[in-house]
Structure 1
């Protein structure tokens, strides 16, 4: 980063970024975010495939997959959040110009950690499956199928953790085609594996809903193998020599926990807010639950865009911080947040204007349709804040700033959003719409708090920008 200086050598205020530099950063961010969107959608699509195929087997099978998937997701989000720290760690190493082989050694050691944590995840899920299902008071058929589904899909824990490490390693280096390829392969394998395992084709036993769990296991191992192959074939990934040595547990791995635990807490706080919101909806009956599911499904699909922009922003900011270029890091962070704001306005407008045609794709039942349209109108409001908090969080992760954002998001969702949702829905005449009002409150507070944190980060970075280069560790402090 070049700084203007006076004749006596003292630094003056840096020049504001030009329109050309802003356009260039927009292009770089979107180029990185686009394949991440495709990868996220393929990832989400695996559960969609399981749900659609299980629905053909009857109500008990569909309910069993829904219950099992929700229990599985509670742990899934924890480990996914923990290993999200790998992306900014790798990005800063790339920006600092560290040897690719050194970064590969870190990832290789992280894979050993992934195997250990995946094994712990498998064991824990098998231990808690029975007592958790007992609490839900399911009918006998649904409970039996849900237990079988959980015990089957528990064997996907290790390959999922391996994929988390390799995927975030790809994102940190900017090699985003790899997650797209791996995600598409997994989606196709999942659908193809489900057919014989569910229906008994090709000599396999007909496992029904439990077969979807085993289908996911096969698909995720296929995704793991694709990542391993791409780390050998892609020139940018091959340079890291991921499989050139034996993995070891080293002190470097502490950084995964230092950054990952706060990220995990933030991600879990938001995910569990929506899960508990769904439980509050159950108080109002099946039609309301169905309407809520439609609206939250639409909102979740739309959220893949700002989430991907946030992931891309974390990489772009992290690489600038690693290079000691504070002004570039600020520009990249602001650009990502601006992209999130623009998309928020567009998506909110589309939800408000086209809510009824969108709901018609899911159902024709009048009572469910009217309620889902009402929820989507509220989703249009929370979309504004959800996009901003996702992209701002991404910018802060690029600075490896995760502890304060964790405090902001956990407080916003659990001390404000959830209590407001419970009070308005159960304690007032607002009813089920109160749950969505709680979502809006939590997301608005999170977006505001994270925005203040990023503003402070920008101010600090500008104060530090008094020489031609800045130590990356100073930018992160």
Structure 2
């Protein structure tokens, strides 16, 4: 993910951190509700109570941003150190913006290079590129400090947002394909099997995976801050502590899945055969929960060090293997075992993902060397130390992720009361909706970063341009999604099921899903803008109200009181998304930009993470 303007002064940088495991809306993160000084107090407490940790806590008040935050003529740091610390693409980005605004001429650096070599015979003759980098940094700082306008263009923002979003699309589609492969492979076994795998996976999500993801989000704050303060050993301690505590807390849930899942599901689901099959799914999937926890914690262990591509590399290997294993274990004449092959594939892939991330960490040649954050296994007395403060950080993440998953679990329960065929159709439509969402969601992430960068640089006019471009790109993508879903609705239905009743229900509901794409994409885009502005709470309130006060109630009324069936579920969700898109758009473009910029500066001055 791009981090433009990272070397602008500390007061101008945004404090936004994005976590990509916060549910479909992507609006919430624990650090949005916990001030930075509290998390820093947690870090300091962890270090002060353990003398061994203190050995690794050198330069605890210095981060890369503090060290290189002030640059140019007034900076105290050596320019060669600044150049070596800053990624070239960030400097090029600022150079291009300066050139767009006629504030910088690339030939100027060449003249300075000649001056350096002529007037300073004792100089080391820095390369021309270093001289140009220095000129860009100084020109940018001078332009900001003198109040000159630096505005971007629609064309530039379209290019930047698209290029930043492109690799994310691949990652999210690969991650989404893990559940897609199970549903696709089981769908041709029959409606009961398809309904059961949907019910089982949704129950696993709401009672297990959502809570795990929410709990692990505390590492987005804690590990990032520990690493930023050069407490490398503490990063490894936090990773192990979170993983161990999460595994311990998951044990009662896993025991419940094994012993009482069928009885509990029967309280909500009228079809007892579906409950029995879903219970078997839960029992097998429980064996992969420890691996899933290690993967989620390990992913954050690497991401706090700026290594974002490791999980993508692992998924590039595991996603195709998952599809292959689903085919072999479900359908192969010699090895296939039918329905149970799907959850077995899930378990095997979770362990492969965890082992893959471990192998990357151990053997990577990455110059950042993630093993510097590892100093052996955690001591027993360290496991529960500061756990209360860790939960204080994790609780908002757990609540918000659970709220997202719970909403779709409610829709699944609604569909189960309509019949087996309706539940099977609902699972197929939900799968298509999730897959179609990945592109606008990637644009949303790219937008949030870009807007946050401009706010950090106090360039609010450029923020407005970025938000408009994001909406335009979302409209284009959603229009393509809408056209493809509508035109291919019969093909999609037949790909997932061979039962005529299921095909009919899916094909009749997909036009509604196609129409929904416009507002689903607008929701993603405006959510990204709000994240970048630091207005997550406003977006969160709109999201929860639209989903639980409009979307789900309307779904219930249309489905059960007006006889719309499965189509009613999706008309209800669409109505919630319409409300969400309108009010989030209003919040984005009718905000007080001066207050937003002041809030970002205040968060940074109080020590919030960047």
Bin of the TM-score, shorter chain as denominator length: 0.7 to 0.9
Counterpart contact for 1:326–1:470, Cα < 8 Å:
no
- Give the equivalent residue in structure 2 for 1:243: 374
- Give the equivalent residue in structure 2 for 1:80: 213
- Give the equivalent residue in structure 1 for 2:572: 438
Aligned residues: 459
Counterpart contact for 2:254–2:286, Cα < 8 Å:
yes
1:340/1:81 CA distance change after superposition, 3 Å: farther
Given the alignment of the two structures, is residue 229 of structure 1 paired with residue 359 of structure 2, yes or no? yes
1:474/1:69 CA distance change after superposition, 3 Å: same
Alignment of 1:335-350 (within 5 A): 336=470, 338-350=472-484
1:396/1:192 CA distance change after superposition, 3 Å: same
Given the alignment of the two structures, is residue 419 of structure 1 paired with residue 520 of structure 2, yes or no? no
Alignment of 1:69-468 (within 5 A): 69-74=201-206, 75-84=208-217, 86=219, 98=228, 101-102=230-231, 105-106=234-235, 108-128=237-257, 130=260, 131-135=263-267, 136=269, 138-139=271-272, 145-168=277-300, 175-190=307-322, 209-232=339-362, 233=364, 235=366, 238=369, 241-244=372-375, 246-247=377-378, 248=382, 254=389, 258=393, 261-315=395-449, 324-327=456-459, 330=463, 334=467, 336=470, 338-362=472-496, 368-369=502-503, 371-398=505-532, 401-455=535-589, 459-461=593-595, 464=598
Alpha-carbon distance between aligned partners in 2 of 1:359 and 1:65, rounded to the nearest angstrom: 17
Counterpart contact for 2:475–2:518, Cα < 8 Å:
yes
1:63/1:388 CA distance change after superposition, 3 Å: closer
Counterpart contact for 1:92–1:318, Cα < 8 Å:
no
Counterpart contact for 1:33–1:312, Cα < 8 Å:
yes
**Where does structure 2 lack aligned partners over 5 or more consecutive residues?**
1-7, 13-102, 104-142
Q: Secondary structure at the match of 1:421?
A: helix
- Give the equivalent residue in structure 2 for 1:35: 167
Alpha-carbon distance between aligned partners in 2 of 1:58 and 1:10, rounded to the nearest angstrom: 64
RMSD between superposed Cα atoms in Å: 4.4
Kindly state the Cα deviation for residue 227 of structure 1 after the two structures are TM-superposed. 1.6
Kindly state the Cα deviation for residue 251 of structure 1 after the two structures are TM-superposed. 5.6
Offset from partner CA, 1:266-308 (integer Å, 9 cap, x none): 4433433233223323444444444444333222211111223
Alpha-carbon distance between aligned partners in 2 of 1:397 and 1:287, rounded to the nearest angstrom: 39
Offset from partner CA, 1:414-452 (integer Å, 9 cap, x none): 111111111122222545432222101222223334334
* Larger relative contact order (Cα-Cα within 8 Å, sequence gap ≥ 6): 2
**Where does structure 1 lack aligned partners over 5 or more consecutive residues?**
none
1:23/1:173 CA distance change after superposition, 3 Å: farther
Q: Secondary structure at the match of 2:512?
A: helix
Alpha-carbon distance between aligned partners in 2 of 1:148 and 1:45, rounded to the nearest angstrom: 22
1:279/1:148 CA distance change after superposition, 3 Å: closer
Residues 52-61 or 289-298, more deviating: 52-61
Q: With the length of structure 2 as denominator, give the TM-score of the two structures.
A: 0.62
Residues 125-134 or 438-447, more deviating: 125-134
Radius of gyration: which is bigger?
2
Counterpart contact for 1:348–1:380, Cα < 8 Å:
yes
Alpha-carbon distance between aligned partners in 1 of 2:306 and 2:158, rounded to the nearest angstrom: 15
- Give the equivalent residue in structure 1 for 2:179: 47
Residues 330-339 or 183-192, more deviating: 330-339
Kindly state the Cα deviation for residue 413 of structure 1 after the two structures are TM-superposed. 0.8
Counterpart contact for 2:447–2:529, Cα < 8 Å:
yes
1:362/1:213 CA distance change after superposition, 3 Å: closer
Counterpart contact for 2:205–2:405, Cα < 8 Å:
no
Counterpart contact for 1:172–1:315, Cα < 8 Å:
no
1:106/1:45 CA distance change after superposition, 3 Å: same
Kindly state the Cα deviation for residue 54 of structure 1 after the two structures are TM-superposed. 4.6
Q: With the length of structure 1 as denominator, give the TM-score of the two structures.
A: 0.77
Alpha-carbon distance between aligned partners in 2 of 1:349 and 1:198, rounded to the nearest angstrom: 33
1:193/1:282 CA distance change after superposition, 3 Å: closer
Alpha-carbon distance between aligned partners in 2 of 1:375 and 1:70, rounded to the nearest angstrom: 21
Greater share of residues in helix: 1
